Amino acid sequence: MSKKIHDSLAELVGHTPLVRLHGYEEKLGLKAHILAKVEYFNPIGSIKDRIVLRIIEEAEKAGKIKPGKTTLVEYTSGNTGIAVSAIGAIKGYKVRIYLQDGVSHERLLVMKAFGADVTKISEVPELQDALAATNNDFVAATNILKQHIRDRQAAGDDIYFVDQMINPLNPVAHHDTTGKEIWEDTEGNVAAVVASVGTAGTIRGIADYIHEKNGGKTKIFAVEPAETDTKLTGIHNFTEVPAERIPPSLKEDGGVTKKVFDEVFVADTDGAFDAARTVAKTDGVLVGNSSGAALWGATIIAKREEFAGKNIVVVFPDTGLRYLSTTLFGE
């Protein structure tokens, strides 16, 4: 029997539903079945609850962090910072989040509501310089931040860098939970999975799990923004960037590995926004712009004859409620 009273919200991470988007399929005349993995059912509201819980729990087991003593630090565009703030609050850690400028204001307020200390990148001169020099590159800024953190650790501060970009537990968490759930909930009947890419933890973990199960029969599709796109937030281009900006989860021999996905789409920004706006109206599923990008990609695939009558899983990382002050749903 499932537990009725939980000891904390941390127990409710994962096990999100797969929901068939009947209304969207009908409106677009699609023959494939589009199954949305609706990650806003996670208790803090996004897919990042999974990786943050796993990273914190493993660090605790390894004795690297202690409640009441260690400060958890992360550099993030939003969802991971929100998850670190809330799970840090649940477990009794201080949290410091370095936030990119331009991220929706409600995200900053949510982190503060959970008690985190939020620092904007523009307030840290070394990071601002790194971003300016690299066209707002996440990986470069993370490297500079890492040095900043190492310096503080050397000075005796008890801080732990969550570091979702290179932490190997990011894809592992998705392998063990997101990928496994997709496989089990479809009973292995999944022709394709579509996910948008930021750190690539999601796509890597899901692909690894499903490949282990059926050796590449399920096709994996990645969606990335154009390198110049500034409207699709939380996700990053990885095919047109220098090698040092390829996320470690997708990198092999200095380039993008061929082992994770079968095809990559560069998202059409308007198409991604339209998909998010449409699915809110057709199915009552209110999601963010990276979900819109994934759904835009899933729609292209769904029109291919080979997927007629088959299940396409599309990952929806977060809720549209986190984008009300942006142009996605704003007036």
Interface with ligand PMP (CB under 6 A): 77-79, 196-202, 234-235, 288, 290, 317-318
Torsion of CA 210, 197, 36, 265, to 10 degrees: -90
With beta carbons less than 8 A apart as the criterion, state whether 311 and 31 touch.
no
CB of 195 to ligand PMP, least distance (A): 7
CB of 103 to ligand PMP, least distance (A): 10
- Of residues 89 and 166, the one with the C-beta less far from ligand PMP: 166
- Of residues 16 and 290, the one with the C-beta less far from ligand PMP: 290
Place of tokens 């050397």: 154
- Of residues 70 and 209, the one with the C-beta less far from ligand PMP: 209
CB of 148 to ligand PMP, least distance (A): 21
What is the pairing mode between strands 94-99 and 117-120? parallel
- Of residues 196 and 237, the one with the C-beta less far from ligand PMP: 196
Q: How many helices (H) and strands (E) does the chain have?
A: 11, 12
77, 104, 249, 290: which is the annotated catalytic residue? 290
Query: 176, exposed or middle or buried, with CB in 10 Å at 0-12, 13-18, 19+?
Result: middle
Q: Which of 96, 101, 76, 73 is nearest to 234 (CA)?
A: 76
37, 48, 94, 219: which is the annotated catalytic residue? 48
- Which SS3 state, helix, strand or coil, does residue 113 take? helix
**CA–CA separation, 13 and 177 (whole Å):** 10
CB of 217 to ligand PMP, least distance (A): 23
- Of residues 172 and 197, the one with the C-beta less far from ligand PMP: 197
CB of 269 to ligand PMP, least distance (A): 14
**CA–CA separation, 74 and 84 (whole Å):** 8
Cα 177 to the center of its chain, rounded Å: 14
Helix (H), strand (E) at residue 152: helix 138-154
Q: Please say if 290 is a catalytic residue.
A: yes
Q: Please say if 291 is a catalytic residue.
A: no
Catalytic (active-site) positions? 48, 290
